[in-house]
């Protein structure tokens, strides 16, 4: 008998009371970090060896079914640095602003074949370990001007994944270790005619992991302030969406838990409230203005290609909450900021009563809650948006407490 099954049989025989003592420890998690090429000095101070996979973001799918790097970086240098840290280097294709060409590419056999050939050649050229498809979103517009085919995007994506798998596994192609195919996904399974798919098991046969983008849940687009990345949502408050709900939705549709990572944000989002939120300190859901406040020092006005508007995002990388005097410790606000812990959604929020600025964000406490939850659900590990946003590896280190007892 295999050691594993012997241990399980023994645990079952002895009953649940001793199960924890007898079962083998949970496998070490994978830790996937997005490498955002538009920031210089991307990995300064980042302990890359604590990531198992680094997703270089982004290459943009072109109208010619090719790949175009978003920024002027040296791919060879990036891949060498990632490999030197013993992590896998993956090219992430798409992203919020670069998903507009996917629908047309996957539509026909000929354009899919060209796309697959170009991806395989790109992996070969740079010695990459895999590809991460970050289509936001099949059958559902992300950025408002994206081409979307509500009936066919999702079935066409499955064709693409099967053809990609066949090409990457094919003899003589992309020599060396098996190449990974992963996807960054929304909290609801891929949509068909507006509805989340009820069965995604065929996708899971050809893809290695999905990374659940369990953030951007509430923001400027929401009626009230609310958590950017709730572990659980509060009924009737904010979006009815959360990391836990996302895990439930994908596993109910047949995606195996051990091929899912829980996405966590190393950033937060600011809004301006219309009143002093601390008058209702247990209410994270209050009215806000329609104008985004400036976020951190790197939050520069940018143009939305679809809307044609220019403005700041209100985003705060965790490192700047720490270094720009909003937080004075990992879970401690610097006056006049006040930190509140929301125990329903397991998220902290910050409020400045002088400016009525609200910031929803993640810290060591909220990320520990997500790590413990992901481990308890048998997930593969954690995904991070984005590795550049951390402060002295403070949040990254929390990911490595996977399987360790919670101190609460």
Binding site for ligand NAG (CB under 6 A): 40-41, 44-45, 60, 62-64, 98, 100-101, 287
Distance CA 135, CA 211 (A): 12
List all residues 6 or more positions away from 397 whose beta carbon is below 8 Å from its beta carbon: 50
Q: What is the nearest approach in angstroms of ligand NAG to the Cβ of residue 147? A: 8
- What is the rounded CA–CA span in Å between residue 271 and residue 277? 12
332-333 vs 327-329, strand pairing mode = antiparallel
Q: How far is the CB of 220 from ligand NAG (least distance, A)?
A: 15
Q: Which residue is nearest to ligand NAG (CB)?
A: 100
User: Taking the complex as a whole, how short is the minimal distance between the CB of residue 94 and ligand NAG, in angstroms?
Assistant: 8
State the Cα torsion 81-87-90-96 to the nearest 10°.
-90
Residue whose C-alpha is closest to residue 126's, from 67, 172, 170: 67
Considering the complex, state which of residue 79 and residue 277 has its C-beta at the smaller distance from ligand NAG. Answer: 277
Which lies closer to ligand NAG via its Cβ, residue 42 or residue 366? 42
As measured in angstroms, the least distance from the Cβ of 174 to ligand NAG is: 24
DSSP sequence for 140-190: S-SSTT----TTTHHHHHHHHHHHHHHHHHSTTSS-SSPPEEEEEE-SS--
Contact 390, 267 (CB under 8 A): no
Measured from the CB atom, the residue of 45 and 256 that comes closer to ligand NAG is: 45
The gap from C-alpha 50 to its chain's centroid, in whole angstroms, comes to 17
| Of residues 64 and 86, the one with the C-beta less far from ligand NAG | 64
In whole angstroms, the minimum distance from the beta carbon of 331 to ligand NAG comes to 24
- Encoded tokens for 52: 């198992």
Select from 86, 50, 84 the least CA-distant residue to 402. 50
Quick one: 41 or 310, whose CB is closer to ligand NAG?
A: 41
Minimum separation from the CB atom of position 206 to ligand NAG (A): 24
Q: Which helix (H) or strand (E) holds 58?
A: strand 53-61
Q: Which is nearer to ligand NAG, 78 or 379 (CB)?
A: 78
Residue with Cβ nearer ligand NAG (45 or 325)? 45
Taking the complex as a whole, the smallest distance from the CB of residue 276 to ligand NAG amounts, in Å, to: 11
């Amino acid at each position: 008998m295999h050691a594993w099954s012997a241990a399980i049989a023994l645990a079952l025989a002895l009953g649940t009371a001793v199960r924890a003592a007898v079962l083998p420890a949970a496998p070490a998690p994978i830790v996937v970090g997005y490498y955002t090429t538009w920031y210089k000095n991307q990995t300064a101070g980042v302990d890359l060896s604590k990531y198992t996979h680094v997703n270089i973001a982004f290459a943009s799918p072109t109208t010619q079914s090719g790949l175009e790097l978003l920024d002027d970086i040296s791919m060879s240098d990036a891949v060498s640095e990632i490999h030197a840290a013993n992590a896998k280097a993956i090219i992430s294709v798409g992203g919020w602003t670069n998903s507009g060409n996917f629908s047309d590419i996957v539509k026909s056999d000929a354009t899919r074949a060209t796309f697959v050939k170009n991806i395989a050649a790109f992996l070969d050229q740079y010695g990459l370990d895999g590809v991460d498809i970050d289509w936001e979103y099949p059958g559902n517009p992300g950025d408002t001007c994206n081409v979307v085919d509500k009936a066919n995007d999702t079935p066409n994506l499955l064709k693409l994944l099967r053809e990609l798998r066949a090409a990457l596994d094919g003899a003589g192609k992309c020599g060396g270790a098996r190449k990974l195919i992963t996807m960054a996904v929304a909290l609801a399974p891929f949509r068909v005619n507006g509805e989340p798919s009820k069965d995604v098991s065929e996708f899971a046969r050809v893809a290695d992991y999905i990374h659940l983008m369990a953030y951007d849940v509430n923001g400027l687009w929401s009626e009230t302030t609310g958590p950017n990345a709730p572990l659980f949502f509060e009924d009737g408050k904010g979006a009815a969406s959360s990391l836990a709900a996302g895990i439930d939705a994908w596993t109910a549709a047949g995606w195996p838990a051990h091929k899912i990572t829980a996405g966590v944000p190393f950033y937060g989002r600011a809004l301006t409230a219309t009143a002093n939120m601390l008058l209702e300190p247990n209410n994270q859901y209050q009215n806000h203005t329609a104008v985004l406040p400036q976020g951190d020092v790197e939050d520069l006005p940018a143009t939305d290609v679809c809307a044609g508007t220019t403005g700041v995002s209100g985003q705060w990388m965790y490192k700047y909450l720490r270094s720009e005097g909003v937080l004075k410790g990992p879970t401690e606000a610097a006056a006049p900021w006040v930190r509140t812990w929301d125990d329903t959604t397991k998220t902290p929020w910050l409020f400045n009563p002088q400016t009525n600025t609200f910031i929803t964000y993640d810290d060591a406490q909220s990320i520990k809650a997500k790590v413990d939850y992901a481990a308890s659900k048998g997930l593969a590990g954690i995904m991070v948006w984005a590795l550049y946003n951390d402060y002295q590896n403070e949040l990254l280190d929390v990911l490595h407490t996977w399987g360790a007892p919670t101190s609460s």
